[in-house]
Amino acid sequence: MSEELHVGQKLVYKLRHREDPVEVYVTRIARKYFYVSSTPNGVESRVRYHKDTLCEETYYGSAAQLHTPTGWADLQRRNELYDRLQKTGVEFHYRTGIRNRLTVDQLEAIVKVVSE
Parallel, antiparallel or unpaired: strands 33-37 and 65-67: unpaired
Residue pLDDT, tens place only, 20-39: 888 999 999 999 999 999 88
Are 72 and 56 in contact by the 8 Å Cβ rule? The answer is no
Amino acid at 50: H
Residue pLDDT, tens place only, 66-108: 999 998 999 899 889 988 988 888 887 766 667 778 889 998 9
Provide the pLDDT confidence category of residue 1 given band limits of 50, 70 and 90: low
Q: What CA–CA distance (Å, rounded) separates 57 from 7?
A: 19
Q: What is the pLDDT of residue 95?
A: 65
**Prediction pTM value:** 0.75
Question: Which DSSP string corresponds to 25-94?
Answer: EEEEE-SSEEEEESSTTSPPPS--EETTT-BB--SSSPPPEEE-HHHHHHHHHHHHHHHHHHHTT----G
